[in-house]
Structure 1
């Protein structure tokens, strides 16, 4: 079967084939490039070549074949080499077979045949190889029926699933990631292998796990991947707090909704509007403290009072354990978790400008993202109710625009600084300075004074007089 006809004019394939012929080597393009090419997903910028022989020698010859300097990186310990060519990263490796000790992820690597190299790969759709040698250019080598699995939209392992997943447990995460990205099914025996080997994920570093998880989160419909993670038992291995969201408690005829599936719906909803990974993480985390705050009251039924504040307090610990960044990105997620209920309280016609000012001040530059999260959080099966809530959010956003245009409180700093207060009243750094500055801020948020220096200084004069503080630089007031 001939493939790559459309790529025959792409010089890298013909060049590698010509050089491999001159060295007496078989050479093949393999892996994700072949998979995506056959799926019509466009040309990946990462191209992997396997040769029956030394990948380093082939890469070196290819790099030297260009008149201009071509960067070559050699990794002798792994038997691989990388050629950087324009926008392409081209990796070369010799065909090999691998075996593993049960308690280690480090393989014992030996030279192997092409088929042995294909069998050691994670899935049949990634085990496809296309020859680039001159007389066989475009010939598909598919001993494990990967092409058929592409057409059937199936994720399946070339070797026995228990062998594949026990050797490298990260492949279980990759199976679910590919299923989510491609919207494929995982073949039943392969999925059962994931379920049986879920506990093996413990030997994988958290960094590698989270890298796969983030790719799932960035899928168009991430809930599909999370459901597979949950059912397989993998999610419990690294994110038990999310697993605890699942389930419904009832007292009589009073039940609460399943917060796990609600969270997944919020995640899908928000994914329709943003590719921001951290806004998607805020959707995942927004109700994470509901199990810890769940209470039942005879008067009102099930409650989760304070889950937004407790969720914000839980965020740093979860991020640290998952090896997510402990920087402004974590603080961004934490902030949205803490504030995600605030806009809901503003849907009343009786809401004051003061409440809107405070939300604008507290949310700052994240106000638009917060509103996107709030809209995604509307998941009722009652369509009329959903429309009503979204219409109310429209009103809140309009109110925000009006208040911000008038008062400019978003991210504002009090018009009089602490240093100025100390200078005006000859005060040393102290509690009173902070109190005066805070009272100016509160007066602006409450609408008692406008957000400008003139009114702030006049207000400060009155505050100082009430506290018996003498002005020392009256001309500046």
Structure 2
């Protein structure tokens, strides 16, 4: 019965792909005819075939051909509206026509040196030779498009069966595949997150045995794969694979370290499990995939291992873990060569995620609310989601109490925002007005006066000009008095 069901699944997948590709034939058939007229074959290949079979075909299509790059370029320049040749040295050209983007690569038969992931580019002569060098069998299928629009499915490595079973396996022995290109181990975790597949037992075993080989890969390439994993439908599945195979020890050790730390509420097996729950709950609040929010949710407690301590009663504590965690995020993201904006945003969310826990009815002044909003800045909507996601207690009364408290905080933020511009809390006097009032020239004293006025604005809200000037003059006089006292 299982075999029958699998056959029905594969037939349904093929029918779905056939329908999706037939819709594209008005654009693709003339392209295939152009290749045929030049004596060459054209195949849709790799992820494009996989996605067509899964019913998620995108507008970017990947093809392979026996034509050499210069021949492909000549064909595309007649067919396409735009042609890009930036990858021509690797046999790849890209083009666009009627909004449809295509990428066409000459058959490859590369050799690897075993030290880097950079192959010695060699062009191949057969489709089968090209497919066998690909990362996973589910990415090693092709659909031949003939000049008359006929579609022929090629699956020499039985990728369709693996796709129907939801399994990732390598065309050759995984040790050989990962030895050629260790990045494929991260790609396995990424596909697990994106497609919600399982890896074959031999693939998992090879990943665990070869985890240190990932050191051959540049930080930038690692970061790209991790970001794609985090944007998947089930990033926790890919992260679990990284941790279980020790790849996380190499690329994201802060995550693996959470396995060692018991959650202080004893509500989870460990802080790692709690972090995965927070990630899930943050994603449930998304309107669209939010990489910054997801990273912050995953790493919000990464400072706990370094701050773990025990009270006299034996209760575990993690004081100031948000401060340590923010530093760890900055260090890790710099090592991964993330952008300055990404580093700043994720680390600031980690730093702020505990601020709310001092909140209670009547416990926060308007000044405290202003500071919460100001410190979060443009990250405030994400901070709202992160704090709500961080409530994972199974105690329903406590969960409801925390939810009501945050509802109250958001209501107070909204009420203050109606009265004043909380999004841009600035001093009531600008730099020029400060210099004119105090008779100063540009310099450190102007910056100190500006900082005083901003603190005053946060504490008391907007002031009219007369009141702001009076407070500034009073402060300025006190500065001189303090200086004279110290001198005496």
| TM-based fold match above 0.5 | yes
Q: Does 1:25 align with 2:40?
A: yes
Match of 2:50 among 2, 27, 35: 35
Change (3 A) 1:259 1:458: same
Change (3 A) 1:428 1:127: same
Secondary structure at the aligned position of 2:222 is classed as: helix
The gaps in structure 2 that reach 5 residues or longer are: 1-13, 482-488
CA drift of 1:468 comes to 6.8
Distance 2:342 2:259 in 1: 26
Secondary structure at the aligned position of 1:91 is classed as: strand
Do the aligned residues in 1 keep the contact of 2:193 with 2:232 (CA within 8 Å)? Answer: yes
Q: How does 1:249-260 map to 2 (within 5 A)?
A: 258-260=270-272
Do the aligned residues in 2 keep the contact of 1:248 with 1:257 (CA within 8 Å)? Answer: no
Distance 1:347 1:435 in 2: 33
Q: Does 1:206 align with 2:219?
A: yes
**Which residue pairs with 2:280 in the alignment?**
268
CA drift of 1:8 comes to 3.7
Distance 2:434 2:314 in 1: 49
Distance 1:224 1:16 in 2: 39
Distance 1:76 1:440 in 2: 59
Distance 2:254 2:248 in 1: 9
Structure in which a larger fraction of residues adopt helix:
2
Do the aligned residues in 1 keep the contact of 2:261 with 2:304 (CA within 8 Å)? Answer: no
**Which residue pairs with 2:309 in the alignment?**
295
Distance 2:185 2:266 in 1: 38
**Which residue pairs with 2:59 in the alignment?**
45
Do the aligned residues in 1 keep the contact of 2:132 with 2:172 (CA within 8 Å)? Answer: yes
CA drift of 1:170 comes to 0.8
Do the aligned residues in 2 keep the contact of 1:20 with 1:133 (CA within 8 Å)? Answer: no
Do the aligned residues in 2 keep the contact of 1:15 with 1:62 (CA within 8 Å)? Answer: no
Match of 1:89 among 92, 95, 101: 101
CA drift of 1:446 comes to 3.0
Q: Which moved more, 1:79-88 or 1:185-194?
A: 79-88
Change (3 A) 1:12 1:262: same
CA drift of 1:216 comes to 1.0
Secondary structure at the aligned position of 1:157 is classed as: coil
Change (3 A) 1:58 1:351: closer
**Which residue pairs with 1:191 in the alignment?**
204
Q: Which moved more, 1:17-26 or 1:332-341?
A: 17-26
The gaps in structure 1 that reach 5 residues or longer are: 470-477
Cα distance per residue 1:82-110 (max 9 Å; x no partner): 22323333222332322212113222324
Distance 2:74 2:95 in 1: 8
Do the aligned residues in 1 keep the contact of 2:425 with 2:454 (CA within 8 Å)? Answer: no
Change (3 A) 1:126 1:341: same
Do the aligned residues in 2 keep the contact of 1:121 with 1:127 (CA within 8 Å)? Answer: yes
Match of 1:330 among 333, 339, 343: 343
**Which residue pairs with 2:26 in the alignment?**
11
Q: Does 1:105 align with 2:105?
A: no
Using structure 2 for the length normalisation, give the TM-score: 0.86
Secondary structure at the aligned position of 2:339 is classed as: coil
Cα distance per residue 1:298-329 (max 9 Å; x no partner): 15721111112222233332221011112x33
Do the aligned residues in 2 keep the contact of 1:220 with 1:271 (CA within 8 Å)? Answer: no
Cα distance per residue 1:82-141 (max 9 Å; x no partner): 223233332223323222121132223242321111110111111111111247921111
Secondary structure at the aligned position of 1:367 is classed as: helix
**Which residue pairs with 1:122 in the alignment?**
135
Q: Does 1:456 align with 2:468?
A: yes
Do the aligned residues in 1 keep the contact of 2:95 with 2:101 (CA within 8 Å)? Answer: yes
Q: Does 1:400 align with 2:427?
A: no
**Which residue pairs with 1:313 in the alignment?**
327
